[in-house]
Chains A and B, each alone.
Chain A
């Protein structure tokens, strides 16, 4: 397997523009996570899906952010409109089903290479 694939690797856009980040998880994995990483806030979990269904989106910063997972092999994170404070590295990760039926640190998360987003 090629691992988790993210595109684009780098994105530079202007404030107010729509940004779409893409992720292909590892085949067979049950969970897909979207993270944002900044120097100030570290790694923040934005949202995660279980079998394509969003389970916990409490980390999504505001309504400008939305995420979808139309099938088991594809997910998108959209920011509309984008703002300079959205500049960060966005990671997608996938894992197998956790213990006790929910996500668990027990199951290794495989991270993609990240998308570095710069909003001017």
Chain B
């Protein structure tokens, strides 16, 4: 089954920009790319999503190249509270006729003072 691939962990310092890339070679043509954030002892929560090019909201930006086989989550000027695990989620084609939703393994981001 198709997988998504992301770095296991990243370290950064307060005020820096962090970019996390997810590879998803078999993304379904009709599906989006969504990123989630998870804090310890909580369920994942939605951060941002996009279909192509660039999307920006109040907390992050998402860059998607034309072939859509990867995406990059960009967190501007991170703070200690951004320390969390970040997951990408995509749909891939499934023989059952529906897209199968696949979460990446997650990237553990540690922000240091």
Contacts and interface: CB of A to CB of B under 8 A. Distances in A.
Interface of A: 4, 33, 42-43, 45, 48, 55-56, 58, 91, 93, 98-106, 108-109, 111-114
B98 A106 contact: no
Interface in B55-99: 87, 89-91, 94, 96-99
A105 B49 contact: yes
Contact of B44 (A48, A101, A102, A111): A111
Interface of B: 30-34, 36, 41-46, 49, 87, 89-91, 94, 96-106
B106 A104 contact: no
A21 to B, nearest CB: 14
B13 to A, nearest CB: 26
Contacts of B30: 99-100, 104
A52 B31 CA distance: 23
A108 B46 contact: yes
A105 B43 CA distance: 16
A109 B46 contact: yes
Contacts of A91: 43-44
Contact of B43 (A58, A98, A106, A111): A111
A74 B46 CA distance: 23
Contacts of B91: 103-105
B31 A105 contact: yes
Contacts of A112: 43
27 contacts: A4-B43, A42-B105, A43-B44, A45-B101, A55-B96, A56-B96, A93-B43, A99-B32, A100-B30, A101-B98, A102-B98, A102-B99, A103-B91, A103-B99, A103-B101, A104-B32, A104-B101, A105-B31, A105-B49, A105-B91, A106-B32, A106-B49, A108-B34, A111-B42, A111-B45, A113-B41, A113-B43
